[in-house]
Each structure stands twice: as structure tokens, then as C-alpha cells.
Amino acid sequence: MTALATSPTDLAAARAAVEGVFAGRPYPGSDRVAVTRADDPSYEGNAVARWFDGRPWTSVDYDRIVADYPGPPSACLSFMTVAGFCYYLPSFLVSALEPRGRFWADVAETVSFALTRPGDEAPSLRTRFDAIVAALAPEERTAVAGALRALAAEYARAGFPINLAERALDGFWAAEERRLSCS
């Protein structure tokens, strides 16, 4: 079991780390935000591409996605390209690190699930996950692990019977954090 953070200041520290290390990540370009299908106007990736087009990650929060995005907010990260996922990941993490927000449980679950390494039974999803990890700089990966650690503590404080952030940590990120600290 992963050691859990113990204070609300861990949330603020994790948020500051995410904001700091992702601050310089460049926008991937409109054509690299989401997987789209020109032949299928109802494809969710098209809606993701339109909604996120040109928006800086710093201007996107989960409350705004819930209010303005035309589809299920939990689907957004799934339809993003690797570049789009890496660019918008901090907006989801920052929203999740605000546990008293109106949609905290939704965004915490969405981001924790998206950061859980798929098993061998889902090779294409695992390949995508590995590509996302490879596209993140070492300091970004460290900040992601710290955010998940703080979220795991918040899940525990909130009494959730299933701690998805802890699952993500135990499934990949804790080992990655240790590996990076030895580098």
C-alpha cells in the first residue's frame, strides 16, 4: 500500500508543483489536441477537438468543462491525442487538487482512472499510456506522482471505499517516482 499524504497543505503543494512544471508546456496545435474523424460528425473526439481548440490549459477547469462541454466531461482525456493529453493533464490535476470543488469526486476519478496503467489484457490502451508517460518530462512525471499521492490522501480522508488515486500510484506512478528520484 502506498504511503498517504497527511495534510491539506499537501494538496496545495501538489497543485503548485503541477502548475510550476507544466507552465512552459507548449500548446500542441489545433490538429493535435484530439483524435478526430471527418467522416463521423458525431464522433466524441470531434467535440473534444472543437471545445479545447486554442484554449490554454490554464484557462480550463473541470467546472467549466461540466458547464460548457457538450458531452460527458469524463470522456475528454480518453479522446485526446498523446500531445493533447499531456498538455491538458495539468488542468484536470489542478481541478482534482481542489477537493472542495463542486465536481471534485468526478474529476478526481476521471484523472485517477486516466493515469492508471492498463493491464496486459488491453494492449492498445497500455501502449497509449506508455506513450503518454514517455511524452512527459521527468519533472512532469514527478509532479503527476505527487498529485496522485495527495489525491490518494484526500480519497482516504473522504472515506471513499475505492481509492482510485492509490490504485494509479500502486500500478505505476510510485515506482516511477522512485525511479526518477534515483536518476
Residue 162 domain flag: yes
Residue 3 domain flag: no
Q: What's this model's pTM, rounded to 2 decimal places?
A: 0.92
Nearest to 100 by CA among 57, 64, 144, 154: 154
What is the rounded average pLDDT of the residues 99-115?
A: 84
Residue 47 domain flag: yes
Nearest to 8 by CA among 150, 152, 159, 168: 150
Residue 2 domain flag: no
Does the structure show a pLDDT above 70 at 144?
yes
Q: Could you tell me the residue range of the domain that residue 138 belongs to?
A: 8-182
What is the rounded average pLDDT of the residues 13-29?
A: 96
Residue 163 domain flag: yes
Residue 1 domain flag: no
CA distance 118 to 176: 15
All three cell numbers of 139: 519533472
CA distance 2 to 178: 12
Considering its fold, how many domains does the chain have in total?
1
Distance (Å) of CA 169 to CA 16, 78, 178: 19, 19, 11
Residue 176 domain flag: yes
Q: What is the pLDDT of residue 98?
A: 84
Residue 157 domain flag: yes
